[in-house]
Structure 1
Amino acid sequence: MRCALAVACVLPVARGAGQGVPSRLADTTFWRLVNEYSEPWGTFRSENFVSNETSLQWVIPELTRRVAPGGVYLGVAPDQNFTYVAAVRPSIAFIVDIRHQNAMEHLMYKTLFELSKDRAEFLARLFARAPLQGVDTTSTAEQLFEALAKQPADSARYRDNLRAIVTRLTDVHKFALSDSERVSLGCVYGAFFSQGPDLTYNYSSECRNPGPYGYGYGGGAMGPGPGGGMGRFGFRMPTYQGMIVETDSAGTNWSYLGSESRFRTLKSMQERNLIVPLTGNFAGPRTLRAVGDWVRARGARVTTFYVSNVEQYLFQQGDEAQRFYENVATLPIDSTSTFVRSFAGGRFLSADTLLMLRPQSPNGRSLQLTSSIAETLRAQREGRLGSWTAVIGVSRQ
C-alpha cells in the first residue's frame, strides 16, 4: 500500500504490529541500512552529547498507555531515545539525526551495551573508570553514581576502552568504519572521559577545538563551568547524571539506567542490531521515506516518533517543515501513533495554549508534549500548521 502525498497512511491498530520485523538483523543488514538509508551529513550549532530535556520522562506514563509494545520507534539525538525505547518496547528503533557524529555516538553506546553485563559495568566503561564497588543489580541510579564518583577517570582505561570499541565494531561486526568515523568515535568517547557524568548538552569537544593531546582529550565549552555550565537560556544545563536520575511527575525513574530490567531491554536490542542509527534530514528526500518503506514491507507500524524540537528549526528553514510532514505522511501509522516533542518556551502562543502548558520538571524549562501523528498531519493538510507555535497548539501534556 502506497500513500498519496501528504495523506497519512492510517492503518488499523495491530497489537503486536511488528510481527513481521525480524527478531535480529545480521551485521551486514544493519550496516547496509546505516549506509544506504542515510543522507549527506549536515551540521548543527551544538554537538548534543547528552539531552537537556529534563521533563522527557513526564509523558511516558501516558505514552505507554497509548502505544502498545511491538511497534516501530523513530527518534532523534543521543541517549534520551534509550529511555523511551525501554518504556514503549518497540520491535526495532531507527534514530535519525542530521549530525553524523550522532550515529557514531550511537555506535559507541551499542558497543558499550554489548560489552557490559550490567549497569555498573556500563557506567564504568562509559566514563573510563575502575569497576564500581558496593553496588549490584538492585542498586538505584543514584547509588550507581555515588559509586562512580569514588573511581577517578583513568587515561589508560580510556585508551583501552576506545580500542575495544573500535575493535568490536570493525573486527567482530565487520563494520567498515572510515578514518573520519574512527576520529569521531574518539572525539565522542573523549567527551565522556574528560567531562565524566557532568557532561552537558552544550559541551564542545575537540572535534571542533582540538586539544593538545590529540583527539579524545580536552575540548572546550560554550559557557562557564564543567561541560559548558550555563546554557543560552540563562539556566544551568542538566548533566548526564542529572538526566539519568530524573523522574516523571509521580517520582518514578523511567531512565534506561533506572533499573536493571530496562538496561537489559536495551542490551538485548543492541546485541540483535535492532537500534539503527541513521544520518539524515527530517525534511530530506531519502531517510524517512526509506525507513517507511522498510517498515511497510514488514507489515509493521511506526507507533512512536520522538522529534524533540526539530520542527522548531524546520519552520525557520524555508519549506523544510512542509517537506517533513510530507515525509511523515508516507510512514505506515495507526490511530495510536504518537509524536513526542520538546518545547522550551516561545512568544505568540494563544491564551488557551499558555493555559494548557503546565510546568513539569523543576530542574529545567523545557516541557515534553505529545500529539497524535494522524491528527497532526490532518492539521497540516487543513492549513492549521503554519508555524512552530501552531504545532505546540495541537500538542498536549
Structure 2
Amino acid sequence: MRVLALLVALASSVAFASEPDLAAFASLPADPVPPELVRGLHYWISNENHLELFHDAVKDKGGVYVGVGSDQNYLLGAWARAEVLVLLDFDQSIVDLHRVYRVVFRAAETPADFLRLWTLKSRPEVRRLIQEGYADPRERASALRAHGTARWAVERRLKRVVEQMTKVSLPCFLVDEADYAHLRRLFLDDKVFMLRGDLTAQRGVSAVGRAVARAGMKVGVLYLSNAEQYFPYDRRYRSNIRELPMDEGSVVVRTSGQRGVSHVKGTYYHYNTQSGASFREWLADAKTRDSRAMLRYAPPSGTVYGLSRLDIGPEEAREAMKQRLLAKRPVKKVKKARGLP
C-alpha cells in the first residue's frame, strides 16, 4: 500500500509539473485606449467570409493562439486545438464582447445551446449569466452593454459561419461537438485571456510574449486579421512580434484589403498564411516597411485566387520574383513579333 501511495503521489507530481505556468497570463497589462477607432466603428463581428482558407494552415498547431478581433478567433482556435487562447483588440468594446462569449461558453454544454443563447428570446438569460459571472461592476456593466448592442449582429454572423462551413464541408465549433467541447474546456479551465492590446503599443503584446516564454510554450497561431494594413512596420511593431516565441512550426494568418494584392473573388480581402520563421526574417529586413511590401512577394497558392503562402525570407522571395519576371519576357517578345496582344 505504501508503494502504491508513493506511485500515485509521483504520478500526480509529474502531471502537475507538466502543466504550464499560466500565472503571467492572468496579469497581462492593458494598452492605453487608442485616440480613435478605425472609421470610428466597433467591429463586433468579422466580415472575413472565407476563413476556411486558413483551415489547413492552422489545423492542430496547438500551443498558444494569439488573435485580434472577435468571433473568427473561436473558429480558428478550435481548428488549431490551441492549449491557451489570448484574445486581443485595441477596442475595449470587443474585449467586453469576449466577456459575453465567456459566460455563454461556460453555460452552454452543446453547440445548439450556444447558438440558442445568442437569440433574442435568450436575452434575459444571458443578462443574468453576465450579472452572476462578473463581480466587478465595471466589467459587468461593460459586458451587458456589449451584449445589448452586438447580440443581433453576432446571431446573424454565427448563422453565416455555419452556412459557409457546411458548404465547404469543414468542422465548425457551432456544429461540431469536438470543436465546441475543446473551446468550452478552455473557458472552464480558465485558459482564455482577454486583453485590450494594441499590436503597435508598448505593453500588451510584449507581455504576452513574456507570458508564453514563462509557460515554456510557443505561439502556434498568430492571427492578425487585416490590422497590419493600418500601420507601418515600425520599431515597436517589429519588437512586439520578435518577443512572441515562434518557430518554423508556428503560422501567421492574415487578411489584407490593400490595393496591389489579389483579393478572393467577391470579397474585400487577400488571404495569406506565413510561417513564423519567415515572418521574423521579413521583420528583420529594413526594406520591408509594411505588410504590402511583403505580401507582393508571397507566391499564390495555385488553388484559390487571392490566397498566398509565404514560407521564405526576403532575399529568396525577391530573387524568385525576379526569375519569374525574366521568364515572362521571352513570351512577351514572341507575342509582339507575331503581332499578338
TM range (shorter): 0.7 to 0.9
- Cα deviation for residue 377 of structure 1 reads 2.3
2:114 to 116, 122, 125: 122
1:261–1:62 CA distance, 2 compared to 1 (3 A): same
2:264 to 348, 359, 363: 359
Residue 188 of structure 1 is matched in structure 2 by 146
Tell me, in whole angstroms, the C-alpha distance in 2 between the residues paired with 1:86 and 1:49.
20
- Cα deviation for residue 69 of structure 1 reads 4.0
1:101–1:34 CA distance, 2 compared to 1 (3 A): farther
Is contact 1:309–1:341 with CA below 8 Å preserved after alignment? yes
- Give secondary structure in 2 for the equivalent of 1:282: coil
Tell me, in whole angstroms, the C-alpha distance in 2 between the residues paired with 1:369 and 1:19.
34
Tell me, in whole angstroms, the C-alpha distance in 1 between the residues paired with 2:131 and 2:277.
41
2:193 to 265, 276, 284: 276
2:134 to 169, 187, 197: 169
- Cα deviation for residue 165 of structure 1 reads 1.6
Which stretches in structure 1 are left out of the alignment for 5+ residues? 1-17, 128-152, 171-175, 199-238
What amino acid is aligned across from residue 372 of structure 1 in structure 2?
Answer: S
- Give secondary structure in 1 for the equivalent of 2:210: helix
1:158–1:391 CA distance, 2 compared to 1 (3 A): same
Residue 207 of structure 1 is matched in structure 2 by none
Residue 51 of structure 1 is matched in structure 2 by 46
Q: Structure 1, residues 73-103: CA drift from partner, whole Å, max 9, x if none?
A: 1000111100111011121111111011111
- Cα deviation for residue 159 of structure 1 reads 3.0
Residue 251 of structure 1 is matched in structure 2 by 168
Tell me, in whole angstroms, the C-alpha distance in 1 between the residues paired with 2:171 and 2:42.
25
Tell me, in whole angstroms, the C-alpha distance in 1 between the residues paired with 2:184 and 2:278.
34
Is contact 1:245–1:258 with CA below 8 Å preserved after alignment? no
What is the TM-score with the length of structure 1 in the denominator? 0.65
Tell me, in whole angstroms, the C-alpha distance in 1 between the residues paired with 2:68 and 2:220.
15
- Cα deviation for residue 194 of structure 1 reads 4.5
Root mean square deviation, CA, Å: 2.5
Which stretches in structure 2 are left out of the alignment for 5+ residues? 1-16, 299-307, 310-341
1:390 to 293, 296, 314: 293
Residue 67 of structure 2 is matched in structure 1 by 75
Tell me, in whole angstroms, the C-alpha distance in 2 between the residues paired with 1:277 and 1:37.
11
- Give secondary structure in 1 for the equivalent of 2:165: coil
1:380 to 283, 304, 309: 283
What amino acid is aligned across from residue 261 of structure 1 in structure 2?
Answer: A
Name the structure where helix makes up a greater proportion of residues: 2
Percentage of pairs with the same residue:
21
What amino acid is aligned across from residue 46 of structure 2 in structure 1?
Answer: S
Is contact 1:75–1:306 with CA below 8 Å preserved after alignment? yes
Is contact 2:61–2:80 with CA below 8 Å preserved after alignment? yes
Q: 1:103 aligned to 2:95?
A: yes
1:63 to 39, 58, 62: 58
Tell me, in whole angstroms, the C-alpha distance in 1 between the residues paired with 2:97 and 2:273.
26
Is contact 2:257–2:263 with CA below 8 Å preserved after alignment? no
Q: 1:242 aligned to 2:160?
A: yes
Tell me, in whole angstroms, the C-alpha distance in 2 between the residues paired with 1:105 and 1:34.
18
Question: Which of these two proteins has the greater Rg computed from alpha carbons?
Answer: 2
Q: 1:158 aligned to 2:123?
A: yes
Tell me, in whole angstroms, the C-alpha distance in 2 between the residues paired with 1:254 and 1:308.
21
Tell me, in whole angstroms, the C-alpha distance in 2 between the residues paired with 1:358 and 1:188.
32
